[in-house]
Structures are given as structure tokens and as C-alpha cells.
Structure 1
Amino acid sequence: MAHASDIRVAGFDFSRFANLRETLATRFANYRTYRATLNELSDLSDRELADLGLARANIKSVAYQAAYGN
């Protein structure tokens, strides 16, 4: 049974396509995590954010760390 990573047709390397698809899927999943975290934290009141030890100005950096780990 042939897999996409094993097939080469007319000079087209399907493994590169599979790698691109995987990279794009990972990036999209990370972006969705970022947006979901950003939206959830933005919906909290200032009091709720303070209870978590966060300021409203830190929401973007916290969401970025949650999604991308940096």
C-alpha cells in the first residue's frame, strides 16, 4: 500500500505536500488556541483578571504563551 510520502508522480513530491499540510494544520490549531484564550480572557472582568494575577494589558502575551509556548 502506497502512502502519500512514498508517491512521486511526474516530478511532484507528495511528501512535501504532506509536510506543508501538517505545518499549516499545526499553525491553524495554534492560532485557534490563541484566539480562544484571548476571547475567554477578554470576557473576564477586571476583578476576575486580578484574581488570576493578570492585568488587562497582559492578555495578549498570556494568550500567545498559551498557544505558542514562548
Structure 2
Amino acid sequence: MAYTATTTHGITVFARIADFAAKVKEAYTLRAEFNRTYSELQSLTDRELNDIGVRRCDIKDIAHDHVYCS
């Protein structure tokens, strides 16, 4: 006697693809925000960065924290 196990657990292939696409879109959106923040801070002069209390070597960490840790 042969048994067939078919379980979908309510998730179809299309739902998985849609979920994956949404995650990719979110990742691109976050990366674009990181790039924008990083570029804006990089474009400031050393004096302007000093006025706001930011060291140039910390710009990458600040941009990362702003986007991914907030």
C-alpha cells in the first residue's frame, strides 16, 4: 500500500515567492536609506562634522545604526 503525504501548512509557492519579493524590496529600501545617509554625512566638511560632534571615521557606523537599529 502506498501513502502520499501532502502538506501545505497554508503556505503556497506563490505566497513564498511574494514573501521573498517583499523581503528583497525591503532590503533594497534599507540599503538606499543607508547610502543616502552615508553620502549626506560624507559630503559635510570636517568643521561641520565637528560642530555636530561626529568624527569622519564614525560615519559608516552612524549611518548603519540610523537605518538598521532604529
When normalised by structure 2's length, the TM-score is 0.80
Q: Say yes or no: does 1:58 pair with 2:69.
A: no
Q: CA RMSD in A?
A: 1.9
Runs of 4+ in 1 over 3 A off after TM superposition: none
Do residues 17 (structure 1) and 17 (structure 2) align?
yes
User: As a proportion of its length, which structure holds more helix?
Assistant: 1
- Aligned residue pairs total 61
Runs of 5+ in structure 1 lacking a partner? 1-5
Sequence identity, in percent? 30
Q: Which has the larger radius of gyration?
A: 2
- Identify the structure with bigger relative contact order (alpha carbons < 8 Å, sequence gap 6+): 2
Normalized per residue, the structure richer in strand is 1
